[in-house]
């Protein structure tokens, strides 16, 4: 587990520089594709602009520039890809094939 923890720390260093006391962290459920729902954590260094879903086996990072353009990155070295957010149920939001449900920190 130590290599995974190190990878997550490195991922955060690259994707979310300058974490502040305003960081929001919430437990929720997530899934990728047709996988079962699992407990995950949404950590938002800048809610609505930058956040990460801490999921196994790879974290998923998001960034939104305010113009409506949103990008997602799976893992620490994956490419940034454009995604469209969509609501699929009450309190369930998906970006591409990744979905989260619960108390989303979007603002």
pLDDT tens string 2-52: 444 333 333 443 444 444 556 888 999 999 999 999 999 999 888 778 999
pLDDT of residue 65: 83
Task: Please indicate, yes or no, if residue 71 is contained in any of the structural domains.
Answer: yes
Contact assessment for residue 72 and residue 48, using Cβ atoms and an 8 Å cutoff: no
Domain containing 51: what range?
2-101
Task: Please indicate, yes or no, if residue 8 is contained in any of the structural domains.
Answer: yes
41-90, pLDDT tens digit by residue? 999 888 778 999 999 888 999 999 888 789 999 998 999 999 999 999 88
Q: Give the number of C-alpha atoms closer than 13 A to the C-alpha of residue 100, restricted to the C-beta side.
A: 23
Pairwise CA distance, residues 25 & 53, whole Å: 10
Overall number of domains in the chain: 1
């Amino acid at each position: 587990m130590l290599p995974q923890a190190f990878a997550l720390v490195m991922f955060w260093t690259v994707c979310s520089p300058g974490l502040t006391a305003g960081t929001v962290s919430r437990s929720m459920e997530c899934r990728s594709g047709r996988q079962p729902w699992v407990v995950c954590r949404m950590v938002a260094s800048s809610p609505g602009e930058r956040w990460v879903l801490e999921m196994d086996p790879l974290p998923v990072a998001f960034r939104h520039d305010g113009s409506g353009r949103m990008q997602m990155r799976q893992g620490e070295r994956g490419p940034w890809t454009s995604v469209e957010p969509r609501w699929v149920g009450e309190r369930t939001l998906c970006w591409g094939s990744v979905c989260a449900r619960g108390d989303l920190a979007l603002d």
